[in-house]
Structure 1
Amino acid sequence: MTTPFPTARAVRATPEGLLWEPSERWVRGRKGDVTVVDSRHPVLVWEPDVPVPLYAFPREEVRQDLLRPAKNPSTGAHTGSLIFYDLEVDGDLLENAAWTFPADDLAGHIAFEWFRRSGKGLDHWYEEEEEIFIHPRDPHKRVDAVPSSRHVQVEIGGTVVADTHRPVLLFETGLPTRYYVPREDVRLDLLEPTDHSTGCPYKGTAAYWSLRGGTDVPPNVVWSYAAPLPAVGAVQGLLAFYNEAVDITMDGERLERPVTPFTKALSARPGNRQ
């Protein structure tokens, strides 16, 4: 007779539309040198229409002595949440840094903002001994970097800026395939580096380039990971282009430009006249 794998966990739903599941990862969150969260029983929570999860933690695994009832609660910022907390550490006050969800299933848990840039989040988050950036990684999402011999050409405004038979294709759940091209196969003379950067919990920190004189092209349309996370190490140093803003031809077939959450963001960037 067989028995279910003892650690198998199913995603559960609440009447409020939240999805959640227990996680077995050891998660810590720090503000400066102070550990605010130290949890071996975190819960992953997905809010309606939000593509990435967040963590909620049992109250006893949170430094509740550092929390204060929010002076200006961000009512409506999270699904049905009415109770918010400000976080005070060494005289530094972060407004609405934490909150509770109204769902009975999540009673006794406190969730935290992750985005440090918002002025609300903690400085550092760790799963086991690995630092995690931007948001928790989704256990139901895959990111695969696969070397290929397919013929990929990239055009911007009718000019071929990349042509390769050795791309690395990056497949990420919920996003279009990204085509990473060796630098030797890219017209680097047409690009100029910018000071823009982004972080990804699956890939690492990316640097960006814009098209020289490309007034009709969104800035920061090209990116690269100099030191990607090990799971996608195959893209190290290669350049990728936003499919949403350039023309890509693969094996002689022109691909349609996808419409993604990045489409609106690209069109709204300063300098873009599209």
Structure 2
Amino acid sequence: MTTFPAERAVRTTPEGLLWEPSDRWVRARRGEVTVVDSRHPVLVWEPAVPVPLYAFPREEVREDLLRPAKNPATGTHTGSRIFYDLDLGGELLENAAWTFPAADLAGHIAFEWFSRVGRGLDHWYEEEEEIFIHPRDPHKRVDAMASSRHVRVEIDGTLVADTVRPVLLFETALPTRFYIPREDVRMDLFVPTGHHTGCPYKGRADYWSSRSGAAAPANILWSYPDPLPAVGPIKDLLSFYNEAVDITVDGETLERPVTPFTRALSEQTRR
């Protein structure tokens, strides 16, 4: 009989890194070149960085494509001392890979994600599913639940959405987001912006800004036209940043939360 522990231990290194093995089969490419093909990846959390990265055993990495970095990116990635450039023949990606100084992670190499920092490997897969931005944190939940709550949204005193059929999205460490059917949003008050973002838990989002301009930050409204299966109920629904609008739920006005988005939204509003 195989016995599984009740919970998997996250390990800590003297350098302040947290890490744990993953059972997922992970592959990563640059263009059409597979650089990583690993069945023994490790998730690593750096201090003060809320999302994890993957590191891989050297034998599961195309080391023949790595060269000692010409201009090492010192001061990044928790004291890492060894950086590599990725040489793809006609393309050289500087500081695309590195090793962590922790003894626990000796023999492992990590790579940058292009969709996160604008350089590095640009296609990542867990099993047969493409993933984006960064690995999904196994200690984080994202649940989309249909509701009959009465949700009203106002921007600078103007009612812009009113629904009794929202989908509530509960995401660890973030405020509840209220996804509203398009028919219940005053879309005449908004204009599409062409802005897009990617989320490893939800997919790719499209954005709208308020036509009034100064009353709200840009890209205040968004939607996922083709969300990942785990959050399928939010498909084509629309949500607002709680941090920058006034939301009333069942007659109770919610306080605007302070989140990692608050400062950027505030600066956009002042422009």
Q: TM-score, normalised by structure 1?
A: 0.96
Conservation of the 8 A alpha-carbon contact between 1:9 and 1:22: no
Conservation of the 8 A alpha-carbon contact between 2:115 and 2:132: no
For 1:130 and 1:178, how far apart are their aligned partners in 2?
25
Matched residue of 1:261: which SS? coil
Is residue 2:219 matched to residue 1:217?
Answer: no
For 2:215 and 2:247, how far apart are their aligned partners in 1?
17
Report what 2:240 is aligned to. Answer: 241
Conservation of the 8 A alpha-carbon contact between 1:115 and 1:135: no
Conservation of the 8 A alpha-carbon contact between 1:39 and 1:61: yes
Report what 1:170 is aligned to. Answer: 169
Closer, same or farther: CA 7–30 of 1 in aligned 2, 3 Å:
farther
Instruction: Tell me whether 50-59 or 111-120 shows the greater mean CA deviation.
Output: 111-120
For 2:206 and 2:199, how far apart are their aligned partners in 1?
12
Matched residue of 1:195: which SS? strand
For 1:117 and 1:52, how far apart are their aligned partners in 2?
11
Instruction: Tell me whether 72-81 or 173-182 shows the greater mean CA deviation.
Output: 72-81
Which structure 2 segments of 5+ residues have no match?
none
Q: Give runs of aligned pairs for residues 98-247 of structure 1, distance below 5 A.
A: 98-116=97-115, 118-247=117-246
Conservation of the 8 A alpha-carbon contact between 2:155 and 2:215: no
Closer, same or farther: CA 174–80 of 1 in aligned 2, 3 Å:
same
Letter in 1 for 2:63: Q
Letter in 2 for 1:62: V
The Cα of 1:219 is off from its aligned counterpart by 0.5
For 1:199 and 1:190, how far apart are their aligned partners in 2?
25
For 2:2 and 2:127, how far apart are their aligned partners in 1?
29
Q: What's the RMSD between the two structures over aligned residues?
A: 1.5
Is residue 2:18 matched to residue 1:19?
Answer: yes
The Cα of 1:216 is off from its aligned counterpart by 3.2
Report what 2:78 is aligned to. Answer: 79
Matched residue of 1:68: which SS? strand
**Cα displacement string for residues 33-56 of structure 1 (whole angstroms, at most 9, x for unaligned residues):** 110000000000001111100000
For 1:116 and 1:185, how far apart are their aligned partners in 2?
33
For 1:117 and 1:273, how far apart are their aligned partners in 2?
27
The Cα of 1:6 is off from its aligned counterpart by 6.5
Closer, same or farther: CA 8–260 of 1 in aligned 2, 3 Å:
closer
Letter in 1 for 2:208: W
Matched residue of 1:60: which SS? helix
Conservation of the 8 A alpha-carbon contact between 2:116 and 2:134: no
Which structure 1 segments of 5+ residues have no match?
none
Conservation of the 8 A alpha-carbon contact between 1:216 and 1:273: no
Letter in 2 for 1:129: E
For 1:78 and 1:6, how far apart are their aligned partners in 2?
31
Conservation of the 8 A alpha-carbon contact between 1:84 and 1:100: yes
**Cα displacement string for residues 7-48 of structure 1 (whole angstroms, at most 9, x for unaligned residues):** 963111101110000001000000111100000000000011
Report what 1:273 is aligned to. Answer: 270
For 2:226 and 2:148, how far apart are their aligned partners in 1?
23
Letter in 2 for 1:216: A
How many correspondences in the alignment? 271
For 1:118 and 1:203, how far apart are their aligned partners in 2?
19
**Cα displacement string for residues 191-230 of structure 1 (whole angstroms, at most 9, x for unaligned residues):** 1111100000110000000000222310000000001001
The Cα of 1:119 is off from its aligned counterpart by 3.7
Conservation of the 8 A alpha-carbon contact between 1:94 and 1:119: no
Report what 2:253 is aligned to. Answer: 254
Closer, same or farther: CA 116–139 of 1 in aligned 2, 3 Å:
same
**Cα displacement string for residues 107-139 of structure 1 (whole angstroms, at most 9, x for unaligned residues):** 000001113463422120000000000000000
The Cα of 1:4 is off from its aligned counterpart by 3.6
For 2:112 and 2:118, how far apart are their aligned partners in 1?
9
Matched residue of 1:84: which SS? strand
For 1:63 and 1:122, how far apart are their aligned partners in 2?
12
Closer, same or farther: CA 18–29 of 1 in aligned 2, 3 Å:
same
Letter in 1 for 2:82: I
Is residue 2:79 matched to residue 1:44?
Answer: no
